[in-house]
């Protein structure tokens, strides 16, 4: 594909783009610019050129791409590149396996991850109401996405090293921002166990963070940046670094990113034939 074709891809008159690519790009663009207006018609548009399993894969990829790269940008990943490229010799440390990369030795294959039971994932989601069981059921026809997405969600939102209350506050802030309370319903045992009720939810809805601890506020400002504009200011990141280790920041970033686009897609699926209304 030429640079010109790549620039035009996603436009109605794009050239060099297959009907499947055009449909996927239409969905991705709508998610980026008009996510509150996503509806059943957008999924039916995809199903004209994709099978249901393929549609789930396209939608989930779009949802990840909505937030994942912004997380890496928030960590300053681009600051380690020179003219857009990684120059190993210019980095402040030697990266892992950089020497092996220069050898002729064949690279080891990336092993297939263990597949988690979909019914176990859904049962845990029903007990916690986290993530919405309807989201996992939407993913469930796909051969591996319920497992890999569900494992990531459980690792960084329900598990991990940062206290769970902070991850649950992130979840509520995100649900309120995208106007999808069903993503983090008040009856969720994960929220009640973390002491998060209607007062906290109202504060997060109005972005009045004064009732929260300094550590919670730092995490929530970081979340707000990723969920809102996708950009995190230097001041917000400095506050985050004052309160969290780098290991914790990585977890907080992934906890937002796994939900950022997914919650918007889930919102648009409510009441369609794929997800029952709340």
Partner 1 sequence: MNTVDIPRPRLSLVPGEVVESWNDPEIEAHFRTSYIEGTPPPTSLSLDAHNRDTQRAGRRFMWFIFHEGLVEHRLKELLRIKIASWRNCDY
Contacting residue, 38, 42, 43, 50, with partner 1 by CB under 8 A: 50
Q: Is residue 107 a contact residue for partner 1 (CB under 8 A)? A: yes
Half-sphere exposure of 93 (CA within 13 A, CB side): 3
Beta carbon of residue 198, minimum distance to partner 1 (angstroms, whole number)? 31
Q: Which of 48, 81, 214, 278 binds partner 1 (CB under 8 A)?
A: 81
Does 94 contact partner 1 by CB under 8 A?
Answer: yes
Half-sphere exposure in the Cβ direction for 119 (13 Å, CA): 0
For partner 1, the binding residue among 38, 62, 125, 196 (CB under 8 A) is 62
For residues 149 and 145, give the distance between their C-alpha atoms in angstroms, rounded to a whole number: 6
Rounded to whole angstroms, the Cα distance separating 36 from 48 reads 22
Name which position in 35, 45, 54, 118 contacts partner 1 (CB under 8 A): 54
Of residues 125-164, those binding partner 1 (CB under 8 A) = 142-145, 148-149, 151-152, 155-156, 159-161
Q: By CB under 8 A, which span of 110-118, 168-176, 185-193, 196-204 interacts with partner 1?
A: 110-118
Q: How far is CA 40 from CA 44, 133, 247, in A?
A: 6, 19, 39
Nearby residues of 266 by Cβ (< 8 Å), 6 or more positions away: 132, 134, 135, 138, 180, 182, 183, 275
Of all helices (H) and strands (E), which one includes residue 81?
A: strand 81-82
Contact 3/19 with Cβ under 8 angstroms? no
* Calpha distance 61→124 (Å, rounded): 24
Q: Note the helical H segments in the chain.
A: 3-8, 19-34, 40-47, 52-74, 98-102, 118-128, 133-139, 145-153, 164-177, 189-193, 198-205, 214-227, 234-243, 246-269
Among 44, 47, 48, 113, binds partner 1 (CB under 8 A): 113
Interacting residue with partner 1 among 4, 44, 97, 189 (CB under 8 A): 97
Measured distance CA(98)–CA(90) in Å, rounded: 13
Residue of 40, 53, 117, 233 that binds partner 1 (CB under 8 A): 53
Of the two residues 93 and 187, which places its CB atom closer to partner 1 in the complex? 93
Name which of 95 and 202 has its Cβ closer to partner 1. 95
Distance CA 24, CA 18 (A): 10
Q: Does 12 bind partner 1 (CB under 8 A)?
A: no
User: Does position 19 bind partner 1 by CB under 8 A?
Assistant: no
Stretch that binds partner 1, among 36-44, 71-79, 212-220, 262-270 (CB under 8 A): 71-79
Q: Applying CB under 8 A, which of residues 2, 13, 104, 109 lies at the interface with partner 1?
A: 109
**Out of 41, 108, 187, 210, the residue judged to bind partner 1 by CB under 8 A:** 108
Residue range at the interface with partner 1 (CB under 8 A); choices 3-11, 173-181, 189-197, 201-209: 3-11
| Residue 58 lies near partner 1 (rule: CB under 8 A) | yes
Q: Which of residues 211-250 bind partner 1 (CB under 8 A)?
A: 230-231, 237, 241, 245-250
């Amino acid at each position: 594909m030429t640079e010109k074709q790549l620039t035009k891809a996603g436009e109605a008159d794009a050239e060099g783009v297959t009907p499947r690519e055009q449909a996927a790009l239409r969905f991705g663009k709508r998610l980026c610019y008009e996510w509150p207006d996503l509806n059943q018609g957008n999924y039916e548009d995809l199903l004209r050129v994709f099978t249901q399993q393929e549609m789930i894969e396209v939608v989930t990829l779009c949802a990840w791409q909505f937030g994942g790269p912004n997380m890496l940008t928030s960590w300053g990943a681009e600051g380690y590149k020179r003219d857009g490229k990684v120059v190993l010799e210019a980095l402040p440390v030697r990266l892992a396996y950089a020497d092996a990369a220069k050898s002729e030795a064949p690279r080891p294959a990336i092993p297939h991850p263990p597949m988690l039971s979909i019914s176990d994932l859904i049962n845990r989601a029903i007990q916690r109401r986290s993530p919405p069981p309807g989201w996992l059921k939407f993913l469930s026809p796909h051969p591996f996405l319920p497992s890999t997405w569900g494992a990531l969600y459980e690792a960084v939102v329900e598990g991990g090293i940062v206290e769970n209350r902070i991850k649950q506050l992130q979840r509520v802030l995100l649900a309120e921002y995208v106007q999808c309370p069903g993503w983090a319903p008040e009856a969720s045992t994960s929220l009640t166990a973390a002491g998060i009720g209607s007062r906290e939810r109202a504060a997060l809805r109005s972005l009045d963070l004064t009732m929260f601890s300094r550590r919670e506020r730092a995490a929530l400002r970081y979340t707000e940046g990723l969920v809102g504009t996708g950009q995190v200011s230097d001041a917000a990141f400095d506050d985050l670094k004052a309160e969290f280790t780098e290991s914790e920041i990585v977890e907080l970033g992934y906890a937002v990113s796994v939900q950022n686009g997914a919650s918007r897609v889930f919102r648009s699926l409510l009441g369609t034939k794929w997800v029952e209304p709340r």
